[in-house]
Chain A
Amino acid sequence: MTRYKKTILISIVILLTAGTWLVGFININHRFPQPVIEEYHADQYLDYENAQITPVQMDIYSGAQFAELYSAIGKSFANQNCKIIVAKIKIKNNSNSNIDSLKFCTRSNVVAYPIGYENQGMLVDMKNIYVLPGEEKEVSTYYAVTQSLVSDKNMAEFLNSKFYMGVRLYPVKQILVFDNIIIH
């Protein structure tokens, strides 16, 4: 085989491979496109099953501050070099039955974007988890930010992040965005 023919053959193989890859890439990303982002800020209500939810405020405490404020649940953080995020949301119950706020808590997560912090939280008040029919209730959830998740070195970038609570991710990404963040 002459060198010229070999070059043409290699070029055809490369073109065919690149074309196949391009078709596959376009096809799969057409079938699973990037999610449509729906942001809900304070006083904008997101419909979630039989409830409506809106973000209120986010507080970021040190472990010691959190332990002092919420002694019942925060004791273990008192001597830890960590931050605790407390996210406050309002849940409005539009149904005829009680809504379990814990269920919502375990189905959502708090994200600091773009640094990549992500965590699932727990309710601050575990004794009062139900939202009664017709009631609108402020619910607080907390999320630990330990050194293994965000070290001191990355803390400044973390605190400057955009904080949101992810509720649904795909095909529509519905997030509660916290604009009111208080760093204590």
Chain B
Amino acid sequence: MKTIMKIEMERAFKGIGIKIALLIGMGLSIANLILHVIPRANNPLVFFDVNYQIFPYSVFNSWMGANSNYQYQLFIRLIPILVVLPYGISYFTDMKTGIVKNYYSRMKKSNYIIAKYCAVFASGGLVIVIPLIFNLLVTSAILPSLVSANGTYSINANGMWSSIFYTNPYLYITMYLILNFIIAGFLGCIALTISQFVNNRFVAMLFPFLLCEFTNAITRYSSINIIKGIAPYRIFSISQLGFNYKESAIIVIVILFIVGYGLFYFRGVKDDTL
């Protein structure tokens, strides 16, 4: 198990896919820094004289995850593609090229399946959080870490973990990054499951994106807030412009895990390959 895990992780993290995904994510992160953060860092007190209620610009209303600017919106929309790019369709290619036969003849099927799942999960999760962490670190080095409920922060009393945000904003961001990592990781693994049913790599690669856009579209029509909160563009949003709900996050994680891992594992183990 240890050997196959190491091989799969190396394949995931040394491939071209992860480099492309990180390039796109970092590109958006750097664009955000240049267009939004650095101008604010030049003069954090720009609005200060106008109104007593305005704070200097701070990390928590300036970094990428706190904004609704197009870089972050685009990043959120691209998440379903970015998570698949590193290693999401590797099961499909392994099957097509026959590499899988080499593995299956040397080890238990379940070991390969679990290692594959872990590698896709880890690589998918990391390509999402690395650009955000980079943006947060740079922003925190050039803007002060101040927070106060004065209307300039998008998280209000209905927002998930709002009490944590206003008492310990870095803890809030850490918790949200972990949540993003988990959901992004599971989302990437959906491509693995789809690989077992389709014959075209692009279908497998684009399925999570289509699934997310479909969910974004249909959940808008629900009158139940928790269902609305399932929309990926909301659940990934750290700024919570539309409120997020813990229940929505739990539902998404459970569904993605059952569909992603459950189906992939059982079908993968059951299928005859050799």
Contacts and interface: CB of A to CB of B under 8 A. Distances in A.
B146 A35 contact: yes
A109 B52 contact: no
Nearest to B138: A21
A81 interface: no
B151 A116 contact: no
Contacts of A23: 141
Interface residues of B, number: 33
Given A115-B162, A117-B149, A149 B144 contact: no
Contacts of A166: 53, 148-150
B13 interface: no
A111 B148 CA distance: 9
A5 interface: no
Nearest to B166: A114
Interface in A84-133: 107-109, 111-118, 120
B146 A34 contact: yes
Contact of B158 (A111, A151, A169): A151
Contacts of A33: 144
A8 interface: no
A20 B165 CA distance: 26
A119 to B, nearest CB: 8
B157 interface: yes
Contacts of B225: 151
Interface string B133-158: 00001101111111011110101111
Given A21-B137, A116-B163, A169-B148, A149 B157 contact: yes
Contacts of A111: 149-150
Label chain A's interface by main secondary structure: mixed
- Interface size of A as a range: 35 or more
B158 A20 contact: no
Nearest to B56: A32
Contacts of A158: 157
A152 to B, nearest CB: 10
Interface string B43-80: 01000100111111000000000000000000000000
Nearest to A147: B158
Given A114-B167, A115-B162, 13 more contacts: A21-B137, A21-B138, A28-B142, A32-B56, A35-B148, A114-B162, A116-B166, A118-B149, A148-B158, A150-B158, A166-B148, A166-B149, A168-B52
Nearest to A173: B148
Contacts of A149: 156-158
A114 B150 CA distance: 12
A30 to B, nearest CB: 9
A48 B179 CA distance: 44
Contacts of B17: none
A134 interface: no
Contacts of B146: 32, 34-35, 170
28 contacts: A21-B137, A21-B140, A21-B141, A25-B140, A32-B56, A33-B144, A108-B53, A113-B149, A114-B162, A114-B166, A115-B166, A116-B153, A116-B155, A116-B156, A116-B157, A116-B162, A117-B149, A117-B156, A118-B149, A149-B156, A150-B157, A151-B225, A154-B157, A154-B158, A158-B157, A166-B53, A167-B52, A170-B146
